Structure 1
Amino acid sequence: MTRRLALCLALVLASCASPRGVPVPDPRPEPAAPPPAPPPRAQPKAPPAGTDRRIARDTVLTDSIVLASHARDSALDAAMLERLAVAEPPDAGAPASASAEPDAAALREMFDIDVANWVEKGRVRYYLGFFTGLARERMAIWLQRLPRYEPVIRQQLVARGLPGDLAYLPLIESGYSATAVSRSRAVGMWQFMRGTARLYGLRVDGWVDERRDVPKATDAAIRFLSDLTVKFGSPYLAAAAYNGGPGRIQRGLARIDVGEDEEPDDSTGGAPTAGDAAFFQLADTRYIRRETKDYVPKLIAAAMIAKQPARYGFPAPAAVPAPALDSVIVPDATGLEVIARAAGMSLAGLRELNPQFLHPVTPPDRRSVVRLPAGTGAATRASLDSLPAGDRIPAVAHNTRKGETLARIGDRYGVGVEELRRLNPALRSRPPRRGEAVLVPGRSQLRVWLAESRRAEAAQRARAKGRVHRVRSGETLRSIAARYGLTPEQLRAWNGLQSAAGVRAGQTLRLAPPRSVKGTGRSTSLAAGAGSRVHVVKKGETLTSLARTCGSSAEDLRSANGLPAGRPLFAGQRITIPC
């Protein structure tokens, strides 16, 4: 009985668990199907509404993922380069790497810079240990980038009569990254400061930074290294001057006895040159910064690893042929996304070929050369030529900040709320959330970038006009002049400098001719010297009251002494009063 009850219960439960609505086969024969009608069923189905938008969204998402990956890689590069910059080798450097090196003859055969005479230096051994220890993971990545750039750089160096092994300088400068930015705001693979970049013909403005343009920056860096090698006669002194500034190296050499009267012992056929030896002699003094003292040892250590990676436990980088490139000339502002679509490539790929563009659009009102994969130039040009002017700049994303509404975003870009809702259908019934990307018309964003660029240029002109520049470490008269669009001769004349005089860190330079004193028509020199006196400020004195004693103005005194606007004088302060 129990079994019978259990069987009945199981059958009831099984019937209850059967899915509802499952069609039961009808034993009756189906009627014959009517003949197929031609209408819509015979035509191919159109893609569902929104397919194009979905494809575009997927493409943008893919590009965003790739660009985010590049940004993360750049951040890791920057972190390790910062650690490299602040590394402190011990003064009495016991070898930090126990790897046995090839003999001197083999090293002379392997390198065209002098490695054999300096490889056992404590600082060189320390950085060999640093690159193979703490920095091993990033060093392996940097070595994988090397084949893409090093052969071309080496060829250009040799063509200029320079050692080809200087091609390893970007390895320690940036890890061969075109977008690297240092703590001192040096930019690009060759880590140019803005003034030096402009001095060597690179364009740096609010739209384009050619320090990130590898071919152009490489040409400028090699010309700079060539000038430094001619000046100092040694690749190691030239490299040190590249890092620390030629003025500092020149002043340091003037303060030491470089032993030029001594004849080097060349009995082994491999004695160091006087110039290379002078660098290591200078590195043992306090006349150059620690970073510059370590610059050549880093170069030697990096070159040792790059030339023989397997010896130091790194995989040999695969050979990468130089990519064949094409280009297209864009006459006016055009979105990089539009160019990438016309070239049949991803936005991330286009930006990798053209890292010099600072915005996702080429500069307005000027011709720009955009690099493309080989064979795509003609088709890209034809596609761009056929585009209506209104389609050249697509909508761009604005990242919503805390408390922003559509109305506030619209005010920023000069766009109505309805236009923003049309571009962002999801925002028709709700406000944007913090961090949400809100599409705005490309032309509106372009106007904002133009306004920001003009403000930056105006601010730079205002800094230069009638104001002063405080010299920073590594700067030269030529680099300062290039930064402000002046000539070294103008700076010398306005600051009373002798023709051979250099500048020193902390020195204040005028960036405009001295103003004429009211009522006299004569020019007043603001540099301390003839016609100037040093005054010790007494309690209650101001710039205005002191300026009256010499018929000058408070602004002249402020400029002569490099005083920030709004900062009062204090008793006991020493200032120069031009009279």
Structure 2
Amino acid sequence: MTPVLPFSAALFGFFRRFGSRSTGLAGVMALCVLFGLAGCGPKNITSSGEPFVVQGSGSGASIPSSGQKTGTVYLPADDGRPLSAAEKEAFLSVGELDRNLSQEDLGDVLLHFKYLVHEDRYTVEKNIERAQLYMPFIHETLRAKGLPRELAYIAFIESGYNPHATSRSGAAGMWQFISTTGKYYGMRQDWWMDERRDPYQSTRAAADYLDKLYKLFNDWNLAITAYNAGEGKIQRATAAAGTSDFFELRRRNTRIYSERDRLTDENKQYLPKFLAVCKIMRNLDKLGFSRMDLSRAPQLAEVRAKPGTDLKLFSSSLGLSWETFAAHNPAYQRYVSHPTRSTTIYVPRAEATRAQALLIKLPAVQPGTAYAGWKEYKVKRGDTMVAISRKTGVPVADLRRINQISEPLRAGATLKIPGTNRTGVDTRVALASAEKRSPSPKVPVAARPQNVAAPRPARTEAAASPLSHEVCKGDTMYSLARRYGVTQEAILAANGMKTPDLRLGQNLRIPAAGKAVAVAERPSVPAGRPAAVTSRGASRPETARASSDRVVQYTVQSGDTLWAIARKFNVSPVELLALNNMSRESSLRPGDTVKVAVN
């Protein structure tokens, strides 16, 4: 069948061919033919009152689009298959982020929708299976920041909810942060671990980044596109094109003088694909996909591991296979934790107390002693640190730090070599195998990893007052803002800084979100608050603190919770409860004072 042309396009073609010289019967006949063809097309269904054709008929299907070439890696071709009644209903459904779209705007969305529903159902099912492990935490994180719930589906496009995903450009993790952006949002990356692969830390960072992008553009279409293309590029492109509307920006793309500032094919299709995924994910039952079983989200707790912890020995002592441990902790790239700083480990919540006790008791690794996560290397005649580094893959600086040895090396000496974690563990397989080995009843979801009570390992960072901070290794403006509960902009303004660049040893003034005043002696506890108790019902003694800790008194602000205060000061919530003789049910009122042990 001849394709149906929009009336404006048909009229344009007519006048272009016949011009003002053509009049009379020839012109009338041409117009009649055009109107006749328009009446032969398939029936339209409507979205927001606008006609839109969703019934394909081979290559002649009338699908308004951006004009971008189809059948590419970025924009699939129309498969020619008509949508069923259920598929039409799902496609025309409207959520938080796909409102008020014209039929032209929806053209590319339809092509992505049809491809995923008809041709690539396997990918959708696979992503659903992984998504159910993290979706409760993602939704909770977005809700806490007041962001649209459907932003959770950005991770569908970025990685298919795979924490081990890595792009050709080096972006990593479930939310695909590049190295610089990851560091800006406090995710450390080194030979030992890559915190961009931590699904919980990266989710919080993604929420913060999306919130920043929306405040920058005041438009979700542009903010989502900027997540893919970069905020700088979208700022330059909208300025050059003279529009703040994404779909109008696509139409004006070729008018942008600088090719560097134009949207690529990938940039142009990122939002349409995302909107198609939103329509699918909100209609899984209707489209015949598996429903997400959110009760499968692992119930995890955070514990702290001291520097140089043998992770493989720890996991086996806890009764976890390495595959299960690695599935819960994809950020670790070695069988051993970082040798100079404490790190966070996620363990099953039911094992949290035992896990923290194990981490404290694990023996220090001695030269010449091989543990589960370590290997031995016998120094041969002529060996150098550089040569051993090439053989083992361990950086020279780390070899020297771990073994506390310098050159020349003595033949026959034994060096400790940290084993390399088998990255790329499929979380679904690891957790499924764990369920088969130790079945347990399903518990209502509370997917946020929680801290557990334990003496806090001494931190390597320099001591800092709540109102001033000396910059130390690993600090970023973002991590300091999160630590003290203020915005990055507030810290910049308080210090007269124009950029968030920091230098070691720099002293920063920290504007107070709520007053935190050092106290010389323990203040009295507000009356009426019960003492914290252990699971056995006995009163819990106050958690022991390192000698370098000091107690500060924090004045509760409106909206504060114990958990929020704990995050401001980077301490364990349970330790905070114990220090104040409070229980989880205790409530806070603005003006109350809370003791916090900082080091």
State the structure with more CA Rg: 1
TM-score, normalised with respect to structure 1: 0.49
More helix by share: 1
